[in-house]
Amino acid sequence: GENVEQHPSTLSVQEGDSAVIKCTYSDSASNYFPWYKQELGKRPQLIIDIRSNVGEKKDQRIAVTLNKTAKHFSLHITETQPEDSAVYFCAALLGDTGRRALTFGSGTRLQVQP
Protein backbone atom coordinates (compact mmCIF):
# COMPACT_ATOMS: atom_id res chain seq x y z
CA GLY A 1 0.00 0.00 0.00
CA GLU A 2 0.93 3.64 -0.01
CA ASN A 3 3.18 4.62 2.84
CA VAL A 4 5.81 6.96 4.17
CA GLU A 5 8.96 5.59 5.77
CA GLN A 6 10.95 7.74 8.17
CA HIS A 7 14.50 7.29 9.51
CA PRO A 8 16.02 7.30 12.03
CA SER A 9 13.51 6.55 14.78
CA THR A 10 15.75 8.23 17.36
CA LEU A 11 18.51 10.79 16.95
CA SER A 12 20.77 12.27 19.60
CA VAL A 13 23.01 15.24 18.80
CA GLN A 14 25.13 17.71 20.72
CA GLU A 15 23.89 21.26 20.98
CA GLY A 16 25.13 23.23 17.98
CA ASP A 17 25.39 20.21 15.69
CA SER A 18 23.13 19.57 12.71
CA ALA A 19 20.35 16.98 12.56
CA VAL A 20 19.00 15.31 9.44
CA ILE A 21 15.83 13.22 9.21
CA LYS A 22 14.91 11.38 6.02
CA CYS A 23 11.61 10.15 4.59
CA THR A 24 10.68 8.15 1.52
CA TYR A 25 7.24 7.85 -0.04
CA SER A 26 5.59 5.45 -2.41
CA ASP A 27 3.35 7.58 -4.67
CA SER A 28 5.20 9.42 -7.42
CA ALA A 29 2.16 11.69 -7.90
CA SER A 30 2.44 13.13 -4.40
CA ASN A 31 3.02 16.89 -4.46
CA TYR A 32 2.90 18.10 -0.85
CA PHE A 33 5.32 17.23 1.97
CA PRO A 34 4.91 18.83 5.41
CA TRP A 35 6.95 18.36 8.57
CA TYR A 36 5.47 18.51 12.05
CA LYS A 37 7.07 18.94 15.46
CA GLN A 38 5.41 17.41 18.50
CA GLU A 39 6.63 18.19 21.99
CA LEU A 40 5.84 15.77 24.80
CA GLY A 41 2.13 15.78 25.60
CA LYS A 42 1.38 18.48 23.03
CA ARG A 43 -0.28 18.61 19.63
CA PRO A 44 1.67 18.34 16.34
CA GLN A 45 2.56 21.70 14.84
CA LEU A 46 3.60 22.43 11.28
CA ILE A 47 7.18 23.69 11.09
CA ILE A 48 7.86 23.68 7.35
CA ASP A 49 6.42 22.23 4.17
CA ILE A 50 7.49 21.86 0.56
CA ARG A 51 5.59 21.39 -2.66
CA SER A 52 6.76 19.42 -5.66
CA ASN A 53 7.58 22.44 -7.79
CA VAL A 54 10.63 23.32 -5.66
CA GLY A 55 13.64 21.31 -4.54
CA GLU A 56 14.53 23.12 -1.33
CA LYS A 57 12.94 25.47 1.16
CA LYS A 58 14.54 27.23 4.14
CA ASP A 59 13.19 28.95 7.22
CA GLN A 60 15.95 30.18 9.51
CA ARG A 61 17.63 27.07 10.99
CA ILE A 62 15.27 24.63 9.30
CA ALA A 63 15.39 23.44 5.70
CA VAL A 64 13.65 20.75 3.71
CA THR A 65 14.94 19.18 0.50
CA LEU A 66 12.90 17.16 -1.97
CA ASN A 67 14.09 14.67 -4.58
CA LYS A 68 11.04 13.69 -6.61
CA THR A 69 12.93 11.31 -8.85
CA ALA A 70 14.13 9.26 -5.89
CA LYS A 71 10.88 9.89 -3.95
CA HIS A 72 12.54 11.11 -0.80
CA PHE A 73 12.64 14.30 1.24
CA SER A 74 14.68 15.37 4.24
CA LEU A 75 14.50 17.78 7.16
CA HIS A 76 17.70 19.59 8.11
CA ILE A 77 18.07 21.45 11.41
CA THR A 78 21.26 23.45 11.84
CA GLU A 79 22.77 24.83 15.06
CA THR A 80 20.50 22.65 17.15
CA GLN A 81 19.30 23.91 20.53
CA PRO A 82 17.83 22.03 23.51
CA GLU A 83 14.38 23.40 22.64
CA ASP A 84 14.57 21.52 19.33
CA SER A 85 14.18 18.29 21.34
CA ALA A 86 10.86 16.75 20.25
CA VAL A 87 9.36 14.14 17.96
CA TYR A 88 9.37 15.12 14.30
CA PHE A 89 6.94 13.65 11.76
CA CYS A 90 7.12 13.84 8.01
CA ALA A 91 4.02 13.41 5.88
CA ALA A 92 3.08 13.15 2.23
CA LEU A 93 -0.16 13.66 0.37
CA LEU A 94 -1.05 10.20 -0.94
CA GLY A 95 -4.08 8.45 -2.40
CA ASP A 96 -6.35 8.36 -5.41
CA THR A 97 -7.36 11.59 -7.13
CA GLY A 98 -10.15 13.22 -5.16
CA ARG A 99 -9.40 11.16 -2.06
CA ARG A 100 -5.90 12.34 -1.25
CA ALA A 101 -4.98 12.64 2.40
CA LEU A 102 -1.87 13.08 4.52
CA THR A 103 0.01 9.90 5.38
CA PHE A 104 2.50 10.30 8.22
CA GLY A 105 5.84 8.70 8.90
CA SER A 106 6.37 6.93 12.21
CA GLY A 107 8.33 9.80 13.75
CA THR A 108 11.88 10.63 14.85
CA ARG A 109 12.64 11.41 18.48
CA LEU A 110 15.33 14.09 18.43
CA GLN A 111 17.28 14.73 21.61
CA VAL A 112 19.65 17.68 21.73
CA GLN A 113 22.23 17.28 24.47
CA PRO A 114 23.32 20.57 26.11
Partner 1 sequence: NAGVTQTPKFQVLKTGQSMTLQCAQDMNHEYMSWYRQDPGMGLRLIHYSVGAGITDQGEVPNGYNVSRSTTEDFPLRLLSAAPSQTSVYFCASSDRAPEDTQYFGPGTRLTVL
Interaction site with partner 1 (CB under 8 A) = 4, 6, 9, 31-32, 34, 42-46, 49, 51, 89, 91, 93, 99-107
Query: Least distance (Å) from partner 1 to the CB of residue 19?
Result: 18
Residue 10 or 12 with smaller CB distance to partner 1: 10
Q: Which amino acid is at 82?
A: P
| Of 45, 72, 75, residue with least CA distance to 61 | 75
Residue 19 or 47 with smaller CB distance to partner 1: 47
Which CA distances in Å does 88 have to 34, 80, 97, 111?
Answer: 11, 14, 27, 11
Residue 6 or 85 with smaller CB distance to partner 1: 6
Q: Which amino acid is at 76?
A: H
